[in-house]
Amino acid sequence: MKVFLVEDEIVVREGIKNNIDWQAHGYEFCGEAGDGELAFPMIQKLKPDIVITDICMPFMDGLALSKLIKKELPYTEIIVLSGYEDFKYAKEGISIGIAQYLLKPVNGDDLIKEVDAIAVKIEEKRKEREFKEKYMKEMEDNFLNKRKDLFQYLVTAPKPPAELLEMADNLDIDLSAMWYNILLIKMQSMKHAQGEYSNSVIEIEDLLETTGKARGQLVFDRNPEGKAVLFKADSKEDLIKQQEDYVNEIKKILEGYENIRYFGGIGEPVNRLTKLPFSFERASHAFAHRYLVEDSLILDSSMITSDIYSNKRDFDIKNMDLKQIDRNKLSEFLKFGDKDEANYFIEEFFRDLGNNALSLSMFRQYIIMDAYFCVAEFVEGLSFQKNEIETPDMDSGVMQGVEGTISYLNRIIVKALELREQAASNKYGSIVDEVIRYIEENYADDELSLNMLASHVNFSPNHLSMVFAQQMGQTFTRYLTSYRMDKAKELLKCTSKRSSEISREVGYKDPHYFSYLFRKIQGMTPTQYRGGKGAEGEE
């Protein structure tokens, strides 16, 4: 640890510096100064662990210096020396956060004892910070889930603005602005199947987040549907400029990657936090076009006609391009779409066919039957009976109208997606069972991680994280930590093994971190748990 001395009396300063063998006691005497004004820039540069300073000095006294040090370097501990037996100095020193207040004269032995005692406290606090940082990193997936929840609340508006702002503040997110907009964007490797692990996609998504943070945007994970970027600015003009700059930078980044398809949908600017659901809805309409086109594109919702039944041109079945009603588009949506997107997909599908496409009864019937057979085939492919899907009733007055057609298509698509989720749940159940078996067999391995498990079951880490949380109702990290803690409690109660041995047996190399984690979760140390005590304290 580094020690810095501030003392205006040269004889005292030389005595403290030279009469104590700092190196032999495990310290580096890193610098000295005759007053606070000279000392502070040196202390800023050297960042000592301990500062020993006189109180009464010219230019800047010890208490003024201490205030500056504690503000700039809060983890640096300070010992104040003074020849004044006046409690007001000690009282002020305590309020500043000074570690020790010693009266002059002080001999070398007494001073080094105080330094040693403070060094022990510094080391304890340092370890506590390291353990806390490690714990927070391990629990980072919980933080990411809270960010996802916040985004969901922002775009569905079930909570009042004050509550949303408080949730954001707890996540260290600043939501305050005059204007907002949303971009939904997703990357797909053309060399990999949907949901499959791709280093390039992960790398690009990391760049999306880094670019967003650098520009002041908020980037939210929507796994498996890519990312959402929240733009915010104090004027509409600034907001639009932000969007353009961000999109241009993303396109430049993507130019450096081959075989990557991307698609984005931009919403409409809104001037209230409570209007974000509208912006999200418009972005979702634009984003739904990714099932309808093959090219990479970032589509602004302002480019899409707001009314899909407007009369800008008449629908003529003779001019219909059959590729536009290719059922592959619907098949693609059934495989990868989300229930919440079904309505957007249907509206954008018919918008692409042309205005008044559904005005012709014969064409509506063709679309209904084609969609029914496509959905039924998809459902049978999931090992369900096709009678799970509502059979179209062409004689129904409701079915004969445009709205009835839209409603029917929405119902059968949503039902198919619900069956897909059910099938996936059954499929993923066996995957999660395998993950749990692997944890039970390997929990003692301190290298055990989500990445290791993802590789074991041939999933991407993000995908496995989502599946595990859905199936188990808790994140992988929380499950693993809880499992290890249960094993530790069993060993503490049923064996006489030392805490350090148990630490290694349940997957923690560092017994101090194990003790910290145990106390964090159980509210007591391993020793107290073994003894049946409930009071908190260090082991």
Distance between CA 218 and CA 273 in Å, rounded? Answer: 14
The answer to whether position 85 is within a domain reads yes
Rounded to two decimals, the pTM is: 0.53
126-143 pLDDT, tens digit per residue, is 888 877 777 766 666 667
Query: 183 and 264 in contact (C-beta within 8 Å)?
Result: yes
For the domain that residue 30 is a member of, what is the CATH number?
3.40.50.2300
* Helix (H), strand (E), coil (C) string for 126-167: HHHHHHHHHHHHHCHHHHHHHHHHHHHHHHHCCCCHHHHHHH
In this model, does residue 181 exceed pLDDT 90? yes
Which span out of 145-149, 456-460, 472-476, 511-515 was modeled with the highest average pLDDT? Answer: 511-515
Using the predicted structure, report yes or no on whether residue 450 has a pLDDT greater than 70. Answer: yes
- Do 82 and 117 sit in the same domain of this protein? yes
Q: What is the token pair recorded at 419?
A: 């069956």
196 within some domain: yes
278 has a pLDDT exceeding 90: yes
pLDDT of the residue at 197: 46
Helix, strand, or coil here: 51?
Answer: strand
Find the mean pLDDT for residues 247-263: 82
Among 327, 356, 385, the domain-final residue is 356
Q: Looking at the domain assignment, is residue 68 inside a domain?
A: yes
Closest CA relative to residue 263, chosen from 241, 291, 239 = 291
Please state, rounded to an integer, the average pLDDT across all residues of the chain. 81
Q: 352: pLDDT confidence band, cut at 50, 70 and 90?
A: low
Pick the range with the lowest mean pLDDT from 149-163, 179-193, 259-273.
179-193
d(CA 492, CA 494): 6
158 token code pair: 């079930």
Cα 267 from chain centroid (whole Å): 23
Q: Is 127 exposed, middle or buried (0-12, 13-18, 19+ CB in 10 A)?
A: middle
Q: What is the residue range of 264's domain?
A: 156-356
Note whether 310 and 344 are same-domain residues: yes
Type of residue found at 308 = I
- The stretch 316-341 carries a mean pLDDT of 70
In this structure, the answer to whether residues 105 and 191 fall within a common structural domain is no
Give the model confidence (pLDDT) of 71-101 as tens digits: 888 889 988 888 766 556 666 666 677 778 7
State the average pLDDT over residues 107-135: 84
Residue 430: Cβ-neighbour burial (10 angstroms; 0-12, 13-18, 19+): exposed
The answer to whether residue 148 is domain-embedded is no
Question: Is 230 in the same domain as 340?
Answer: yes
| Shared domain check, 329 and 191 | yes
Last residue of a domain, one of 356, 384, 417: 356
For tokens 């995957």, the residue is 431
Domain tally for the chain?
3
State whether 221 and 88 are in the same domain.
no
Same domain, yes or no: 177 and 286: yes
Sign, CA torsion 145/150/155/159: positive
Q: Do 185 and 76 sit in the same domain of this protein? A: no
pLDDT of residue 521: 84
What one-character DSSP code corresponds to residue 80?
Answer: E
Assess if residue 411 is contained within a domain.
no
If pLDDT is split at 50, 70 and 90, which confidence band does 229 have? very high
Q: Is residue 323 part of a domain?
A: yes
- Whole-angstrom distance, CA of residue 173 vs CA of residue 165: 9
Tell whether 72 and 203 lie within a shared domain. no
The reply to whether 109 and 174 lie within a common domain is no
Q: Using CA atoms in the order 32, 37, 41, 46, what is the torsion angle rounded to 10 degrees?
A: 20
**Strand 260-266 to 100-103 pairing:** unpaired
3-state class (DSSP) for residue 522: helix
Which sign does the torsion angle of CA 513, 516, 519, 524 carry? positive
Least confident of 49-58, 72-81, 395-404, 497-506: 395-404
- Residue 430's pLDDT is 82
Longest dimension (CA), the chain: 107
Residue 147 to residue 227: CA distance in whole angstroms: 12
**Neighbouring C-alpha atoms within 13 Å toward the C-beta of 207:** 18
Domain CATH code at residue 479? 1.10.10.60
Cα gap 454→457, rounded to integer Å:
5
Q: Is the pLDDT of residue 441 over 70?
A: yes
Is residue 320 within 8 A of residue 353, CB to CB? The reply is: yes
**Residue given tokens 């820039």 in the structure block:** 41
Question: Has residue 437 got a pLDDT over 80?
Answer: yes
293 located within any domain: yes
Beta strands across the sheet bearing 218-221: 218-221, 227-233, 179-189, 260-266, 297-300
Q: What is the pLDDT at residue 516?
A: 85
DSSP 354: -
CATH number at residue 318: 3.30.70.270
Read off the DSSP letter of residue 474. Answer: S
Backbone dihedral angles phi then psi of residue 255, each to the nearest 5 degrees: -60, -25
C-alpha dihedral sign at 38, 41, 46, 47: positive
329 and 230 together in one domain:
yes
Which residues, other chains included, contact 389 with Cβ-Cβ below 8 Å and sequence gap of 6+?
372, 375, 376, 379, 412, 415, 416
Domain-located, residue 402: no
Please give the pLDDT value at position 353: 64
Among 291, 325, 356, the domain-final residue is 356
Q: Is 324 left (phi over 0), alpha (psi -120 to 50) or beta?
A: alpha
- Looking at the structure, do residues 195 and 314 belong to the same domain, yes or no? yes
Out of 87-96, 214-223, 263-272, 284-293, pick the least confident. 87-96
Order of strands, sheet of 50-54, starting from the edge strand that comes earlier in the sequence: 28-33, 2-6, 50-54, 77-82, 100-103
Q: What's the whole-number mean pLDDT along residues 56-79? A: 86
Give the residue-averaged pLDDT of 349-372. 74
Selection from 155-159, 255-259, 402-406, 491-495 with the highest mean pLDDT: 491-495
The rounded distance, in Å, linking the Cα atoms of 178 and 156 is: 19
Q: How far apart are CA 167 and CA 289, in angstroms?
A: 32
Count CA atoms closer than 13 A to 153's CA, side-chain side.
18
